[in-house]
Amino acid sequence: MSDIIKLLPDNVANQIAAGEVIQRPASVVKELMENSIDSGASEISAVIKDAGKTLIQIIDNGCGMSETDARMCFERHATSKINTADELFFIKTKGFRGEALASIAAIAHVEMKTKRHAEELGQKIIIKGTTLESSEPIQTPAGTQFSVKNLFFNVPARRNFLKSEPVELKHIIDDFQRVALAHEDISFKLTHNDNEIFNLAAGGVKQRIVAVFGNKFNTRLLPVDEETSVVNIKGFIGKPEHARRTRGEQYFFVNDRFIKNHYLNHAVVSAFEGLISKDTFPSYWIYLTVDPSRIDINIHPTKTEIKFVDEKSIYALLRSAVKRGIGKYSASPSLDFNQEMSINIPVPSDSQSLIEPEIKVDVHYNPFNEQPSAPRRSSFMTSAPPRREGSTSSQDWKDLYRITQDIHGIDRNEIAIPDQTSLDINSKNEVSEEKPVFQIWGKYLVSTLKSGLIVIDQKRAHERVLFEYYLDLLINSNPTSQQSLFPEDVQLSASDGALINSLLKELRGVGFDIEAKSSDVFVINGIPSELAGVDGGKLLENFLEQFKHSLNEKELGQSEKVALSLAKSSAIGYGRRLENAEMKELIGKLFSCEVPYYTASGKSIIHNLTREELEQKFNF
């Protein structure tokens, strides 16, 4: 039997290694920007086309490379950062393994132009899939320019797994922001499809945070500052009242390197305990400075995970620093115990005449002529969601529930549905019998069945109703808008602005009358008519938070994600007290949906508690 173990060809080995380092276009942006930082650049520009699938270009004014170094930098494990294994424990640079450029060159067409400041000519190198195509002298500005084209051209399976342009662009912006936030002393630019997204001037940490996330953060930040022998902690936290429903602005940096650490995140969150609700998350930008010998950053190819020698001590110090920041700088009202607490009545001067107050009486008023006030209208949608072509009919319901009845144990004939929304599911066109509906804990709607009880999650139920309604608008392109009396300007972060620009078609499809004033400022002239009276700016921001969260819903298309995000951001919340008519209206609309049992994310809306289950609780 012949030997079966053999060495892989270099090109195959390089592609495998590239899969660990270069996962998507954002990985290329991060690696090349970090190389530019290590080169001593004070200005770095990123030019992106088609979310990096067509072009990623990184330009810097760093030290540049010699002709020999320009060739060597594409070899695997070729690096200028370390010489011995011991130096791994004193790393101060971004890259040190010598894997990034070799990995990029293995899966793309790469052109590099580089020149040292003291030399007259630079070097131009072209590599395609690890194959050196050309190397020649060239006139070029000092520094280095990388152009990466046709990413994953020789790994079609990896290219096919790339997400839509908005998703890939979001990943690029996220990595760009992380690098820019870690180096506020460097100016950065980011352009996508000839649209400038970021133009960040060098400055301080707070200036950089505000430039990245928008001017509104200028008044939302509280400083954190703590120096110890174990760790130096600096940065900013968001005021408790601005905590968000999704994990948005949460950044840790260790020795100017972005990291992810759930343990330290818990330290920050616990410091906000009692100040924010359990379903919200605080914002923070925390910069830790630790002795390099007390950490290990060589545990993950992307270097976003770090091990600390003094992890428990850092946890305690971080929690204490954040709590002190909240307490010291929080703008809570204070009592002035030196102020006289008696009522301060102004005393008129001698020259000031007193004016007797005048009492006006309407002599024609007759309380018996008052007209009775109009009945309170439901706060839900005033009209049922339109039924789109091909949706479930009354006969379909009979067939559907005949199949699902055994699974869910719910008899549709036993569900109390208002007359105006009752469906003809009985052969004799009988309307379902009205049954009482109760709300408990501000969260569940409960009604009786012959077989037991039906319990409905009110928030998920409303989300399902709105989801199908907005999805129908997107499919049938028949939105209606409630025009605003005064158009509202909404300024977003550059990242959110890019995301909204990519979703303008879908937003208009559900009823938003919205225009882009610039890359990060949008004018809201109207909102979906079903949300009349809601603040348009807050609605858009809440939608954004939900949409970014929905990006994890891999089985949903973009239209479904937009409909789901708008439904979640505008559905009634828990704790909302509902009138009897509102509860019945919601139940009626829920059972008019095509899929009343589950949310679009697959969470249960309805639970049937049978009589047998109840009797078991009482030991009958």
**Residue 448 contacts residue 552 (beta carbons within 8 Å):** no
Q: Is the pLDDT of residue 561 over 80?
A: yes
Q: What average pLDDT does range 48-54 have in this prediction?
A: 94
Residues 544 and 436 in one domain: yes
- Give the 3-state secondary structure of residue 36: helix
Q: Return d(Cα 109, Cα 133) in angstroms, integer.
A: 10
In a domain, 351, yes or no: no
Q: What average pLDDT does range 463-481 have in this prediction?
A: 88
DSSP state at residue 530: G
Q: Is the pLDDT of residue 604 over 50?
A: yes
Q: Of 181, 203, 225, which residue constitutes the final position of a domain? A: 203
Please give the single-letter amino acid code of residue 440. I
Q: Of 161, 181, 203, which residue constitutes the final position of a domain? A: 203
Q: Return d(Cα 293, Cα 87) in angstroms, integer.
A: 9
Q: Return d(Cα 125, Cα 123) in angstroms, integer.
A: 7
Residues 107 and 148 in one domain: yes
Residues 84 and 165 in one domain: yes
Range with lowest mean pLDDT among 5-9, 62-66, 214-218, 238-242 = 5-9
Q: What are the phi and psi torsion angles at 512 (to 5°)?
A: -75, 130
Give the residue from 543, 531, 532 showing the smallest Cα distance to 492: 543
Give 110-164 pLDDT, tens digit per residue. 999 999 999 999 999 999 887 889 999 999 999 999 999 999 988 888 888 888 8
Q: Return d(Cα 177, Cα 500) in angstroms, integer.
A: 17
| Per-residue model confidence (pLDDT) at position 430 | 30
Give 5-20 pLDDT, tens digit per residue. 766 666 666 666 565 5
Q: Return d(Cα 582, Cα 481) in angstroms, integer.
A: 23
Predicted structure pTM score: 0.69
Q: Return d(Cα 445, Cα 417) in angstroms, integer.
A: 13
Range with lowest mean pLDDT among 133-137, 298-302, 572-576 = 298-302
Residues 218 and 182 in one domain: no
Range with lowest mean pLDDT among 332-336, 453-457, 500-504 = 332-336
Quick one: pLDDT band at residue 233, thresholds 50, 70, 90?
A: very high
Residues 45 and 187 in one domain: yes
Please give the single-letter amino acid code of residue 460. R
Q: Where residue 509 sits, what CATH number does that domain have? A: 3.30.1540.20
Give 252-285 pLDDT, tens digit per residue. 999 999 998 999 999 999 999 988 888 788 999 9
Please report where in the chains the tokens 């949608």 appear, as a residue: 381
Residues 88 and 173 in one domain: yes
Distance of CA 513 to the CA centre of its chain: 23
Q: Return d(Cα 475, Cα 594) in angstroms, integer.
A: 15
Q: Where residue 149 sits, what CATH number does that domain have? A: 3.30.565.10
Q: Which residues lie across from 135 on neighbouring strands?
A: 125
Q: Where residue 307 sits, what CATH number does that domain have? A: 3.30.230.10
**Which residue has better confidence, 206 or 476?**
206
| Per-residue model confidence (pLDDT) at position 41 | 96
Between β-strands 444-449 and 437-440, what pairing exists: parallel, antiparallel or unpaired?
A: antiparallel
In a domain, 357, yes or no: no
In a domain, 356, yes or no: no
In a domain, 334, yes or no: no
Q: Return d(Cα 94, Cα 257) in angstroms, integer.
A: 7
Give 383-442 pLDDT, tens digit per residue. 444 444 444 444 443 333 333 333 344 444 444 443 333 333 332 233 245 678 888 888
Please report where in the chains the tokens 């002709």 appear, as a residue: 67
Q: How far is CA 310 from CA 224, 285, 306, 316, 561, in A?
A: 20, 21, 12, 10, 42
Give 63-109 pLDDT, tens digit per residue. 999 998 898 888 866 555 544 545 444 555 655 445 788 889 889 99
DSSP state at residue 598: B
Range of the domain at 265: 207-328
Give the whole-number percent of the chain exceeding pLDDT 90: 36
In a domain, 336, yes or no: no
Residues 233 and 180 in one domain: no
**Which residue has better confidence, 334 or 68?**
68
Give me 281's structure tokens: 């998350």
Residues 270 and 164 in one domain: no
Distance of CA 223 to the CA centre of its chain: 24
The domain tally of the chain equals 3
In a domain, 349, yes or no: no
| Per-residue model confidence (pLDDT) at position 19 | 55
Residues 199 and 219 in one domain: no
Q: Which residues contact 555 (CB under 8 A, 6 or more apart)?
A: none
Q: How far is CA 27 from CA 78, 344, 368, 398, in A?
A: 19, 65, 76, 53
**Residue 69 contacts residue 35 (beta carbons within 8 Å):** no
Q: What average pLDDT does range 584-613 have in this prediction?
A: 88
Q: Return d(Cα 240, Cα 277) in angstroms, integer.
A: 9
Q: Of 203, 238, 261, which residue constitutes the final position of a domain? A: 203
In a domain, 596, yes or no: yes
| Per-residue model confidence (pLDDT) at position 237 | 96
| Per-residue model confidence (pLDDT) at position 334 | 42
Residues 502 and 607 in one domain: yes
Residues 152 and 134 in one domain: yes
Q: Return d(Cα 110, Cα 22) in angstroms, integer.
A: 14
Residues 168 and 217 in one domain: no
Written as one string, the DSSP assignment of 120-173 is: S-EEEEEEETTEEEEEEEE---SEEEEEEESTTTT-HHHHHT---HHHHHHHHH
Give me 419's structure tokens: 């007359």
Q: How far is CA 454 from CA 12, 399, 578, in A?
A: 59, 21, 17
In a domain, 548, yes or no: yes
Burial of 69 (0-12, 13-18, 19+ CB in 10 A): middle
Give the whole-number percent of the chain exceeding pLDDT 70: 75
Quick one: pLDDT band at residue 350, thresholds 50, 70, 90?
A: low
Q: Is the pLDDT of residue 215 over 50?
A: yes
Q: How far is CA 204 from CA 209, 271, 473, 579, in A?
A: 9, 25, 46, 53
